[in-house]
Amino acid sequence: MLVAKACLSRCTLSVAFVLVCLSTAGGERQPEAPALGDEGMSGISSHRFVFVGGPHHAGTTLTALLVGGHGDVSGFHNTGAPEDEGQHLQEVYHTALELGGMTKYAFNPKSHLTEQSAICTTRNRRKLFAAWAKYWDLSKPFLVEKSPPHIVMSRFIQAIFTPERTKFVFVIRHPLGATKFLWGKDRRGKGSKTCYIRLVGHWVKQMTILAEDLPYLRNATVIMYENFVAKSPVSNYKNLLHFLELEEASAAQISLKNHSSPALKKHSGSSRKWRKGGQQGRKLLGFHGNRNGITSGRAKIEIVQEEWMAWKRSFEEKTPGWTACGPMMAELEEAVSRFGYSLLSPDRVSVPLPFQPWLLPTG
């Protein structure tokens, strides 16, 4: 099975800085590396873990809210860390910021962690669990943690928390939709002349690493954000619970609203804090999540469906236009299309062949 591997380097030419190389990545499961053993398992052995990862602003927070809102699951809440992400609450591995930031970290070779990485040790197993255990309710059988960079370090996480106790949920989204939070507020137009193609190159790098690592994971699923939200999200949520082996009876409650709802228009800008009914939440380009409900289980999650045309129009306003950006985007069209999306026809969502064996059923 062919997947696109983006070989990226700095270059002064806006179009030529991305060179797409093709390599093979087998969809068949690979043999697992030798485990760390049973040392350092205190606390870990009595729980099951769910780790959520994906590109920033691709829907990882929504997914973590849905999982953490289940009555049998504990997630992070009011930790004081950005987005309550575990990457900021530990000192075992580098955060995305330390590796170049959310739009560059995957280019850094240090970001790709596996069971063979030097930091994959019994000592760090104890250290990482202890760091996160402070924020989990350990009376719950399932523990969820969300950090977008899990998309490039899942094999390491699996080795630390053991394959039999760990499940991964990866969320992917159209690269221009996922990066709207950046180009959508680029008031100075710093990246408009290059049509923000470097952001797309980073997305391709993330997808490539995920495609290479998935065959090494015992329990993993991939969610296409567009399909999950637009095609029967309540039913799709049940499919997610089935994958995680969680009972529907204690599931979070989901409600749907259209993005054009008058009550939501004032929240249609960039991601920011918002207040509704006296409760704190966050606007995240396509949904609202009430974080306060997470602590008591049975959370109420409000999904706001957003048409792709909304960010397409915004993109055209920020750049020379869709037609003018076409030649630049054509440089990465093949790489992006292998993962189910199109730069030239952004409303098209197809089956990402490298991820097909792991796709969560939707619709």
Binned average pLDDT, 10 residues per bin, the chain of 363 residues = 33 32 42 56 89 94 89 90 94 97 96 97 95 95 97 98 97 91 74 87 97 98 90 88 92 62 34 32 36 40 65 82 85 95 88 97 85
What pTM was computed for the model?
Answer: 0.81
Give domain status of residue 30, yes or no. no
Q: Which ranges constitute the DSSP H helices of 75-213?
A: 122-133, 154-161, 175-178, 180-183, 197-213
Give domain status of residue 234, yes or no. yes
- Burial level of 317, CB count in 10 A (0-12/13-18/19+)? exposed
Report the DSSP beta bridge partners of residue 223.
171
Dihedral (Cα; 30, 34, 36, 37), 10-degree rounding: 120
| Domains contained in the chain, number | 1
Give domain status of residue 32, yes or no. no
Q: Could you tell me which residues come within 8 angstroms of residue 306 by beta carbon, excluding any fewer than 6 positions away?
A: 229, 259, 285, 286
Give domain status of residue 363, yes or no. no
* Residue 4 confidence (pLDDT): 35
CA 104, CA 84: separation in Å to the nearest integer? 21
Give domain status of residue 9, yes or no. yes
Which residue range forms the structural domain that includes residue 16? 2-25+44-272+280-358
* CB 287, CB 229: distance < 8 Å: yes
- Which CATH number fits the domain that encloses residue 314? 3.40.50.300
Give domain status of residue 168, yes or no. yes
Q: Could you tell me which residues come within 8 angstroms of residue 117 by beta carbon, excluding any fewer than 6 positions away?
A: 156
Q: What is the CB neighbour count within 10 angstroms for residue 70?
A: 28
- Burial level of 17, CB count in 10 A (0-12/13-18/19+)? middle
Give domain status of residue 224, yes or no. yes
Give domain status of residue 138, yes or no. yes
